[in-house]
Amino acid sequence: MNLDEFDVIKNKSEAIGNEMFELMEELFPICRSITGNGVRQTLKILKKHIPLEIHEVPTGTKVFDWTIPKEWNIQDACIIDPNGEKIIDFKKSNLHIVNYSTPVNQKIFLSELKKHIHTIPEKPDLIPYVTSYYSENWGFCMSHNQFLDLKEGEYHVIINSKLESGNLTYGEYLIPGKSTDEILLSCYICHPSMCNDNLSGVVLLTMLAKYMQNFKNNYSIRFLFIPETIGAITWLHINEMNISKIKHGLIATCLGDSGNLTYKKTRNSNEEIDKTVVNVLKKSGKKFRVLDFFPWGSDERQFCSPGFNLPIGSLFRSIYGTNEFPEYHTSGDNLNFMSVKSLAESFFIYFSILFELENNFHLQSDKSNLSKNLITHSKKETTNSIKYLNLNPKCEPQLGKRGIYHQIGGQESTMKQRKMEFRIFWILNLSDGNNSIQDISKRSDIPLKDLQSSIKILINSKLIQKIEK
């Protein structure tokens, strides 16, 4: 790619922003999940723009500590009130149904129905996004205002879904470069009708692939369209032998809101991708933020697990799960929440990052002569400090099946539970043989005494082990 080619795309980026939004409008109504026909339908639409390769991995396949779950598909669902009126309709919003709900067709009284209803009292107009992938259950989601209006009596609940042996589906596209060294760009395709999280990442990477394939590149560029978590784990399991080709990477998510761009660094924090992204953001003249790596969020959790420790960061806008993005995982994250200008700008920044990496290619290939271990063992002097070893260093272990992680995903989880999970993620991510518990406490900013109870849980679950000197 030369400077003239760069300028062509720069001048086109506004039009590309519109193209991204149109694609998002087409994808928005589809009920996606971590498996099923919603994912296939989504990939089929993307295939009109780029020659995606579609992979199917059967239910029951072991992928590190995880197993590919049953495939979920849903036709329809509703709640009919005591007056015979349809008060919840899947066709109006697929967020109304807990994603992965098992089939149900029964008449129940309000008190029983309430046990299966999810709302957000603090955001009474919005429908929450709730999932139950690994614990068979069924449920409905509605606005808290609607919940408060429910009358006593007998309700008819119908969920016409199927949960059975099938496949996990994902899409992949490699644009070959002169070198086999790769840049990995990944997004997830498992959320139903929500835009910023996750359609903005999907449409951005689709357009980036569409325009990048016209250029002669030094790097090979790999694009992944995978279900979050289980898809990343599956991809890493299948491609473990080739991951040393990955020299730089980014996870694309939440790129269409009006907030400033935010870069979350790689686990090692001083990789070429870290410097490149910050350079490009500085040159853009726009306000931006840089965050240190933290071991939760999106698929960087898997790519940056200690057994892989890949140079992969994440570039997004407003920070998900915080007050600056209250629409996160709700019906508020819809097409009206999207800014075409932000989409276009995010696209151009991603494109500029690729351009800069391409221009610095020779510098990188000089360095690649140095053999690099999967896990960088920087020798660190630590004094009499206790260290633990993560016994499951490739991707996260499945905490849910050990009763450590909340089973219902999406919106609901208490702050106390979340804090415990954060401590566990830090210990697992940094227990690579290099870091003592003092190091973990310092980097995570969690007092040593608060880490102790989580260490005990992890030892009892045989997920970490003390390193004997």
Tokens of 324: 């600056």
Which has the closest alpha carbon to 169: 73, 294, 295, 267? 73
* Minimum CB distance to Zn ion, residue 197 (Å): 4
Residues 168-207 that bind Zn ion (CB under 5 A): 197
Task: Indicate the residue among 228 and 274 with the shorter CB distance to Zn ion.
Answer: 228
Tokens of 410: 């999406």
Task: Indicate the residue among 181 and 197 with the shorter CB distance to Zn ion.
Answer: 197
Task: Indicate the residue among 172 and 197 with the shorter CB distance to Zn ion.
Answer: 197
Query: How many Å apart are CA 169 and CA 189, to the nearest integer?
Result: 10
* Minimum CB distance to Zn ion, residue 28 (Å): 15
- From residue 22, how far is each of 15, 185, 200 by CA, in Å? 11, 22, 11
By Cβ distance, which residue is nearest to Zn ion?
Answer: 197
Task: Indicate the residue among 197 and 327 with the shorter CB distance to Zn ion.
Answer: 197
Which has the closest alpha carbon to 64: 420, 394, 346? 394
Strands 167-175 and 220-226: antiparallel
Residue type present at position 167: N
* Minimum CB distance to Zn ion, residue 109 (Å): 33
Whether residue 47 contacts residue 74, with contact meaning beta carbons closer than 8 Å, is answered with no
Query: How many Å apart are CA 408 and CA 423, to the nearest integer?
Result: 19
How many binding residues for Zn ion (CB under 5 A)?
1
Task: Indicate the residue among 197 and 358 with the shorter CB distance to Zn ion.
Answer: 197
Query: How many Å apart are CA 449 and CA 443, to the nearest integer?
Result: 15
Task: Indicate the residue among 197 and 300 with the shorter CB distance to Zn ion.
Answer: 197
Q: Does 333 bind Zn ion (CB under 5 A)?
A: no
Which has the closest alpha carbon to 31: 75, 89, 64? 75
* Minimum CB distance to Zn ion, residue 333 (Å): 9
Task: Indicate the residue among 271 and 396 with the shorter CB distance to Zn ion.
Answer: 396
Distance from chain centroid for Cα 376: 25
Whether residue 300 contacts residue 224, with contact meaning beta carbons closer than 8 Å, is answered with no
* Minimum CB distance to Zn ion, residue 426 (Å): 21
| CB atoms near residue 110 (< 10 Å) | 15
Would you tell me which residues interact with Zn ion (CB under 5 A)? Answer: 197
